[in-house]
Amino acid sequence: MKHTLAQFSRLFYKDLSLQWRSRGAMAVALLFSLTAVMLFALVYGPFFSPPELPMEARRRELAKLASSIYWTAAAFAGVVAIYRSAEADREAGGIKAVRMDADGSVIYAARMCALSVMLCLTQLALGLLTAAFFDISWLTLGDVLRLIGVGAAASVGLGAVGALMGAMAASMRGGEGLLSAGMLPLQLPLLMAASKCAAPIWASEPIQEKAWIALLVAYALIMSAVGLLLFEVVLED
């Protein structure tokens, strides 16, 4: 057990360091996110909801818009970040180089956690941009913590899929097309759940439909389990 934990810690630090050294991936993802948010803000602005609506109704409409735009930008930014991570991993020698002294499940867990951390940082910056562009100033500390919780759960799900798809893309010719075409459909249930959970939080309201929270958590757990089961097979192909 101690040996496994030591392997995980070493690989997690290596993957996180590798992705940080290739932090151009984060810059590209954030630039894309900023472009998407600015485009929506210019199209829908300067009034993002009908001014004749009561303040509470306007806040809800603005929260729905902000949540949908945020997660649309986050989805594409996540694909960009995962693609750049897979590309950097291939240039640095690939996952197969560490298979000599580590089990595939440990490699996958470390890669998934490192990707999740990087995606969390990207989503945090994107959240600040969204709040600034849509002038969302009524969020409390509790709301911010709830948004971070939703983003963290979504990042785990994205990291679980991204670690598996990134390994597939890095191990085959033309894998970039597979990553782009495969990630977005796989993300759809996660994005629906995250958007539905985040919308009332952006409006500073409680989440009424708890089923979306269950779907968000279940997606992260199921995709993590699937990745652990299939990662060794992907490495062997």
Put simply, whether the predicted model's pTM sits higher than 0.85 gets the answer: no
- pLDDT reading at 217 higher than 90: yes
Q: Quick one: pLDDT band at residue 18, thresholds 50, 70, 90?
A: low
Residue span of the structural domain in which 70 resides = 2-235
SS3 93: coil
- Residues in contact with 136: Cβ distance below 8 Å, sequence separation at least 6, in sequence order: 62, 63, 66, 130, 202
List, for residues 113-155, the tens digit of each pLDDT value: 888 888 888 888 888 888 877 777 778 888 889 989 998 999 8
Highest mean pLDDT among 67-81, 147-161, 180-194: 147-161
**Residue 97 and residue 89: Cα distance in Å, rounded?**
10
- Token pair 């979504």 is at which residue? 154
- Residues in contact with 202: Cβ distance below 8 Å, sequence separation at least 6, in sequence order: 62, 63, 64, 66, 67, 136, 139, 143, 147
Residues, the chain: 237
Number of domains the chain is built from? 1
